Amino acid sequence: MDATSAAGDLHPYWPRDLLIPTYVANNRSMSEILTFLFSVSGVFLLVTWMITSRKVATGRLGTWRRLAVCWFAVCGFIHSVIEGWFSLYYDIIPGDQSFLSQLWKEYSKGDSRYVIADNFTVCMESVTAWLWGPFSFWAVFAFLTNKPYRFVLQLIISLGQLYGAVLYFFTEHRDGYSHSELGHPIYFWFYFVFMNVLWIVIPLLLIVDSWKQLSAAQADTDNTKSAKSKRK
């Protein structure tokens, strides 16, 4: 059942009495929107996977490292383009029929904070778009060119993503999950939970990986310094 906006148009968002004065219904289907999202993400993943098959200064990247680089490439696209669009146009999205605005109106069925320009989502998505987006592409470059700071970048980006995702879920938890149809298989479990929990699970794994890599590097430095001091 749809609710009515202040302008009299029907909207599908929760809570049901939500007022969205400028809302205009999408003219593109859910399948069109999701096909676009996953197709473009798939292209980024596939192209990056092919690029990472080449040798770098230390030899070929392992499967795990190649997957991590692919993750950063997809993150760069999602953060910079999709979340960047929200950051720039959040105030007109409800009534706008541009493709990316319709994507956000579709996603808002799982979290209506995006269609009402909730302060937290605007701030969080702006930080994500303009920091973690460019940093993700930078991380791809750093791993492909074997930069010594690559794991520092991985740690910074992953911590930022994890922090944003935890706040995203926790703020909605404190609101009683009122911005979605709780338990809905697509809007709640797929849009709201699954599509965001990825930014908790994967960054956690990458944080642990960064910890190990940086700790090993520091241990090597300490051992080298210790060996030099013994020669004196």
**H-only helix segments in the chain:** 30-51, 63-77, 84-89, 99-107, 119-127, 133-144, 150-174, 195-231
| Upper half-sphere CA count for residue 219 (Cβ side, 13 Å) | 6
Give the integer Cα–Cα distance in Å for 21 and 5: 6
Rounded Cα gap, residues 61 and 112, in angstroms: 41
Tens of pLDDT along the chain (232 residues)?
455 554 456 889 998 888 898 899 999 999 999 999 999 999 999 999 998 887 666 667 888 999 999 999 999 999 999 999 999 999 999 999 999 999 999 999 999 999 999 999 999 999 999 999 999 999 999 999 999 999 999 999 999 999 999 999 999 999 999 999 999 999 999 999 999 999 999 999 999 999 999 999 888 877 877 667 666 6
36 burial (CB, 10 Å; 0-12 / 13-18 / 19+) is middle
